[in-house]
Amino acid sequence: MFKRIINFKPVYRKHKLKSNWQLIVKTSTKHFLLAFAIFLLLESKAQKQPNILLILSDDAGYADFGFQGSTDMKTPRLDKLASEGIVFQQAYVTAAVCGPSRAGLLTGMYQQRFGFEENNVPGYMDNAICMNDDDMGLPTNLLTMGDYLKALGYNTGYFGKWHMGNADRFHPTKRGFDVFHGFRGGARSYYDFCSENPN
């Protein structure tokens, strides 16, 4: 049957049609129904892409979540996500500090390969390697998981702490993410900004 669909040849009937218009309508209807049937067949067989939600939590201990056994921290929504999704039991970051480990996760590369080995913290880092805040960021020639997922047809978003560069050229929406809600720097207060809490 499939061979016949691919090698479709018009079938001429012996009875006469009243007009050429009837022939066009009948032929068009047949082709439409055939095309629609093929579309439904292919659509039903096509594998749907799964939704991906990746959560990275900075400075959290292994047992700081309910699904990891915490009784101090109540995390019912994360516990529900963990029960319905995948929890990496032995996942390790590639750096001991947040910025470089995030750079490694976003690119899928060891961050030492592209020079993002430390958080850029003036006063704590060696002045010879400490950069101006606007100059430090994830190199723009590298692709991120956002770039790769968009190439596969996904809509992408990044929410929360970016810490991959403050300058506009490093902005998440220029690095493979369609939407960004969060803050670009490495830290901020959980409390509202006001005169008593400027950061």
The catalytic residue positions are: 98, 163
Contact between residue 142 and residue 129 where contact means Cβ atoms under 8 Å apart: no
SS3 content of the chain, % helix, strand, coil (to 5): 35, 5, 55
Secondary structure element (H or E) that encloses residue 45, with its range: helix 20-45
Residue of 156, 187, 184 lying closest to 170 (CA atoms): 184
- Let me know if 177 is exposed, middle or buried by CB neighbors in 10 A (0-12, 13-18, 19+): buried
Residue of 139, 138, 151 lying closest to 178 (CA atoms): 151
Helix (H, G, I), strand (E, B) or coil at 157: strand
Helix (H, G, I), strand (E, B) or coil at 158: strand
CA angle 157, 162, 164 (to 5 degrees): 120
Helix (H, G, I), strand (E, B) or coil at 98: helix
